Amino acid sequence: MSNFKAFLLMGLLSILLVLLGNAIGGQTGALIFLLISFALNFYTYYNSDKVAIKMTNSKPISEEQAPQLYAMVRNLADRAGLPMPRLYLTPSPQPNAFATGRNPENSAVAVTEGLIKMLNREELEGVLAHELAHIKNRDVLVGTIAASMAGAITMIANMLQWTAFLGGFGGNNEQGNNPFGLLFVAILSSLAATIIQLAISRSREYGADAEGAAIAGNPHGLANALLKLEEAARQIRMEKANPAASHLFIVNPLAGGSITRLFSTHPPIKERVERLKQMA
């Protein structure tokens, strides 16, 4: 099912890129952007972990530095039937965590300094189990593809909007000379890309919560942790947080107002906690 979601996502976002290419340069533009979509998917597939680690400024942490953390992750990974992931430490006082990697054999889990300090053992196990669930379900691949493709579409759509304001492209392409048509395609493509990314990201969080609770052995630790992390995200800012990587974390590190939450990559914490309580 996870592979189906990944291919469906690649297909939908690739179609949007092709439509943008067609709006810019007709059949030639569509072909060029189709090739761009293939290149983006290929690069993202093989480099998702490196990109995520670099964007969050996370550093490798050895077993000598964190023996208890390694023991906890190793125990949870055994329960989940997963190989031991690489562990990283993200230099931030905000408690948070994320997983990355294209498959279980090439996976990594990163925790912030604040997460280790703030949570008790049961809560920390719940968070780590949630991240291992993402790895087990290959959600990381899906989310990374969503972010990279949606980001590319939004960037190109923004360029297209400026072109529309300046009167469209030159040449004989009738669609290219219609600034209103360009503007419509640009806005629609950007909005559609965002909606696809949000839908995929939110659904995978619910799934990882349920799977994580099963791996940890109970939903209480994760439920309590989510409440703590949500409150901390409002009070403790994650310095140099990259919006492009916000979807990776267990809670959105960029806490905002109600309008921002409407377009959040994460479902409401209240709903996630309620679902976990129902499992108990």
Rounded-to-integer distance, Cα 67 and Cα 145, Å = 33
Identify whether the C-beta of residue 133 lies closer than 8 Å to the C-beta of residue 79. Answer: no
Question: Helical H runs in the chain?
Answer: 2-55, 67-80, 113-118, 121-136, 139-165, 179-216, 220-235, 258-262, 269-279
Rounded-to-integer distance, Cα 183 and Cα 189, Å = 10
**C-alpha distances in Å from residue 3, one per residue of 43, 132, 253:** 17, 17, 28
131 given a catalytic annotation: yes
Which three-class secondary structure string do you get for 78-137?
HHHCCCCCEEEEECCCCCCEEEECCCHHHCEEEEEHHHHHHCCHHHHHHHHHHHHHHHHC
249 Cβ contact list (under 8 Å, min separation 6)? 96, 97, 98
Neighbours of 86 (CB within 10 A): 15
Of the residues 123, 125, 131, 211, only one is catalytic, namely: 131
Question: Helical H runs in 56-82?
Answer: 67-80
The crossing angle, in degrees rounded to 10, of helices 179-216 and 121-136 is 120
Rounded-to-integer distance, Cα 117 and Cα 71, Å = 17
Rounded-to-integer distance, Cα 92 and Cα 148, Å = 24
- Active site amino acids: 131
